[in-house]
């Protein structure tokens, strides 16, 4: 079955600390992978995407993600978190004409 798992429901980090959000997928074909961010009451903003090629992809706001086929993972990282990064983060895999999303990870940033 096609699915995306985000094992961490909540993560709290201090401002300036590094961040890694985990994402594991199950998909039978070549995965096309996305990370979105959602601020409270808002829609989803694309952070980055992976289609092919270099397995380390750079996105907006200083985020990057690494695709590891052997681990079926696409983890999101940021070296130094800012207070404005507090939001909910969703990983998704592209299926024909739809996305399959994980349940999200809510990030809290401590000053």
Partner 1 sequence: DTGVSQDPRHKITKRGQNVTFRCDPISEHNRLYWYRQTLGQGPEFLTYFQNEAQLEKSRLLSDRFSAERPKGSFSTLEIQRTEQGDSAMYLCASSSGTSGGEKETQYFGPGTRLLVL
For residue 42, the minimal CB distance to partner 1 (Å) is: 6
For residue 3, the minimal CB distance to partner 1 (Å) is: 11
For residue 17, the minimal CB distance to partner 1 (Å) is: 25
**What values do phi and psi take at 19, rounded to 5?**
-135, 140
**What values do phi and psi take at 48, rounded to 5?**
-165, 170
The answer to the question of residue 42 lying near partner 1 (CB under 8 A) is: yes
* 107, burial (CB in 10 Å: exposed 0-12, middle 13-18, buried 19+): buried
The answer to the question of residue 25 lying near partner 1 (CB under 8 A) is: no
């Amino acid at each position: 079955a096609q699915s995306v798992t985000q094992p961490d429901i909540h993560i709290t980090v201090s401002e300036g600390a590094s961040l890694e959000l985990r994402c594991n997928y199950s998909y039978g074909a070549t995965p096309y992978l996305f990370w979105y961010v959602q601020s409270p009451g808002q829609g989803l903003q694309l952070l980055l995407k992976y289609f092919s090629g270099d397995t380390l992809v750079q996105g907006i706001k200083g985020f990057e993600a690494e695709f590891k086929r052997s681990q079926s993972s696409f983890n999101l990282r940021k070296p130094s978190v800012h207070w404005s990064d507090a939001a909910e983060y969703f990983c998704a895999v592209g299926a024909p004409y739809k996305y399959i999303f994980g349940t999200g990870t809510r990030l809290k940033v401590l000053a």
